Amino acid sequence: MTTLLKSATIIDASSPFHKQQKDILITNGFIEKIANSIPAKKEYEVVNYPNLHVSCGWFDTSVSFGEPGFEERETIQNGLLTAAKSGFTAVAITSNTDPIVDSKSAVEFLINKGASSNVDVFPIAALSKNSDGKEMAELYDMKQSGAIAFGDYNKPINNDNLLKIALQYAQNFDGLVLSFPKNNAIAGEGIVNEGVNSTSLGLKGAPALSEHLQIARDLFLLEYTEGKLHIPTISTAKSVQLIKDAKKKGLQVSCSVTPHHLTLTDDELAGFDSNVKVNPPLRTKSDTKALIKGVKDGTIDMITSDHNPIDIENKKLEFSLALDGTIGMESLFGAVHSVLDLETIIEKLTKGPRAVFGLEKTQIAKGAKANITLFNPDELSTFTEEHILSTSKNSAFIDKKLQGKAYGIYANNQLVTK
């Protein structure tokens, strides 16, 4: 099959065609030619979208699909189709299924289920057995089966020694350990950010201190063990500073941030909309400003949707009873483009996460394997339920203004568009 992308503006800082508008010819999954104009032949599949831009394929490093165990929230098949149409050529699937992804067979199940998709599947296996934080899972066996990292999704590692041992043990096979930034003892029963809004609304608050203490502990253990640590979905200004200081000391630490923490604040709580009940909770305007600055200066390595489908029975409830989580793949690009420049966004969705998780580099160049995201950075829209491709509809961005949209992807010798 031959596909011709017409008049595509290339956004790839590593490419000699960066910021140039070119035609791109793809044959049997590889880029055959890049030129100012390539004549279309009858047998070509021609792609010619308004204001077409292309970049290396986006990688979302925190995606929950539910299957196995919670198929009513999302199946792997529909989840991967949603990822493709949202611009992602690769996703890291979290371990919060039933059963938990804490064994070699569970890792292989996820990989096999995604084998026929044009979206690459990379499991993040549980760090502890059943994600209960007590006993370390068989990390090496899961690494051999295809797991790219280890972490108990949205669950802090309360056992200091467990994290220490994991950081030491994983060094034997260059493993990456994840630690969710929350101290349960300090957070207590808090369900939103502790502050003016939580007090005025009568909602139990979790102080930002719970995140800071956990990150500080993690960084002390990282310095002691000389391991490799990833802190997912940070949410506060102090967290940015702690990680920035650790990087200056030469520690192997990375972190991610979500679109909702970059663009939304706890002012959203006024409507008691359970779609904005997330973990970590939405913070303050000063926190969002610091997170944006952290993305720009390189402290924050990547942006992730933290896509977490929740069925209506567990989400459309009284705020205090609803489960945490928002879907996010469909809205990620349009949300962050309202606060970040295009080149920074692309770097945080491509080069940044691939470097941290040790994946193969991609490039838009002649002879390279075609791993490409197609998008329009300028289209303005209001995000509604009609834009949601996921089975579950729990989006924090419903009725929010977005700038930019994904057309789809070309990857693994397949074109998938909306």
Same domain, 72 and 9: no
Same domain, 13 and 145: no
Same domain, 107 and 26: no
Same domain, 194 and 105: yes
The pLDDT, as a whole number, for residue 405 is 96
* % of the chain surpassing 90 pLDDT: 100
- 361 within some domain: no
- 38 within some domain: yes
Element (H, E) at 239: helix 237-248
Give the bridge partners for 380, in sequence order: 403
Q: Determine the Cα–Cα distance for residues 93 and 239; give it in Å rounded to an integer.
A: 24
**Per-residue pLDDT tens digits for 263-303:** 999 999 999 999 999 999 999 999 999 999 999 999 999 99
Task: Please give the average per-residue pLDDT across 156-176, as a whole number.
Answer: 97
Task: Please give the average per-residue pLDDT across 13-33, as a whole number.
Answer: 96
Q: Determine the Cα–Cα distance for residues 72 and 66; give it in Å rounded to an integer.
A: 8
**Per-residue pLDDT tens digits for 39-56:** 999 999 999 999 999 999
The pLDDT, as a whole number, for residue 43 is 93
pLDDT surpassing 90 at residue 418: no
Same domain, 349 and 268: yes
**Per-residue pLDDT tens digits for 54-67:** 999 999 999 999 99
The pLDDT, as a whole number, for residue 308 is 98
Omega prior to 232 cis, within 30 of 0 = no
Residues classed as catalytic: 306
- Using the 3D structure, point to which of 356, 376, 408 is the last residue of a domain: 356
Domain limits at 116?
57-356
**Under a CB-based contact definition with an 8 Å cutoff, are residues 4 and 38 in contact?**
yes
- 388 within some domain: yes
| pTM, full prediction | 0.97
CATH code of residue 106: 3.20.20.140
- 128 within some domain: yes
Task: Please give the average per-residue pLDDT across 392-401, as a whole number.
Answer: 97
- Using the 3D structure, point to which of 356, 387, 403 is the last residue of a domain: 356
The pLDDT, as a whole number, for residue 406 is 98
Omega prior to 50 cis, within 30 of 0 = no
The pLDDT, as a whole number, for residue 363 is 95
Same domain, 48 and 78: no
Same domain, 74 and 61: yes
**Per-residue pLDDT tens digits for 202-249:** 999 999 999 999 999 999 999 999 999 999 999 999 999 999 999 999
The pLDDT, as a whole number, for residue 1 is 82
